[in-house]
Amino acid sequence: MSDVVDQITLGLSRPYFCNILKKLRENNQENADTICKYILAEQAEFNIKNSTKEGKIKILVWLSNGFDDRKRYQDMTKENILAYLNNLRKPQDQGNGWINSYNNRQMVFLKFFKWLYNQNEPDLTKRK
């Protein structure tokens, strides 16, 4: 899967994205493979920009890291995801900057998990 990691991270703005995906592969190969398959599907179906790819890789790797890379994406429950997102809340943040992080990650998770559980759905609009 190393070739796939190199393939999907080719042309990205920083080597950071390749490095975090390779580190995830060392700790949880299944989650790394799932991210790679998802990014490849997104590229083929929606021709996503590199900046979009970077954001999705980063957010999905961080999600796995949030569970110490011990929990497969397939085993994550709604409660797990909500607990992870709630850790982003910063009540003392006067500017409410955490809200953008929360909403952005929530959108990525929604699309990712729709894809994860409906990969064979021929109607792409049902996975968007």
Q: In Å, how far from its chain's centre is CA 44?
A: 17
Q: In 3D, which of 25, 41, 23 has the Cα closest to residue 33? A: 25
d(CA 66, CA 92): 22
Q: Is the pTM of this model over 0.85?
A: yes
Over the chain (128 residues), the average pLDDT of each successive run of 10 is 86 96 97 97 94 98 98 97 90 76 95 93 69
Q: Residue 124's pLDDT is what?
A: 67
Q: Residue 39's pLDDT is what?
A: 97
Q: Residue 88's pLDDT is what?
A: 85
